[in-house]
């Protein structure tokens, strides 16, 4: 079974496995494998979403990133 980043859902397969830091990808963790602050991860997701549909507003992408993060184990509300 393939593993995914607990923060953003990025597949940790192939080359990404070597770049992974524990349960997190290289974009969601620091050099020690600690999860980056939520707002920092969210801004990365906003940029990723904008790459798929650049015509939306920044506020719209912010909201989409927030909803997306709620489905990730690292950010799910308990």
Which range marks the domain in which residue 63 is found? 3-70
Residue 76 lies in a domain: no
pTM of the model: 0.82
CA distance 49 to 11: 16
Query: Is 17's pLDDT higher than 80?
Result: no
Nearest CA among 12, 41, 57, 66 for reference residue 22:
12
Domain count across the chain: 1
Q: For residue 78, is it within any domain?
A: no
Asked if residue 24 belongs to a domain, the reply is: yes
Residues 35-54 have pLDDT tens digits of 999 999 999 999 999 988 87
List Cα–Cα distances, 21 to 30, 46, 49, 57, in angstroms: 8, 22, 23, 32
């Amino acid at each position: 079974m393939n593993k995914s980043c607990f923060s953003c859902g990025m597949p940790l397969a192939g080359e990404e496995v070597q770049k992974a830091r524990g349960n997190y990808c290289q974009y969601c963790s620091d050099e020690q494998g600690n999860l980056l602050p939520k707002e920092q991860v969210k801004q990365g997701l906003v940029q990723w979403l904008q790459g798929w549909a650049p015509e939306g507003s920044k506020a719209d992408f912010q909201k989409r990133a927030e909803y997306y993060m709620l489905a990730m184990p690292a950010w799910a509300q308990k």
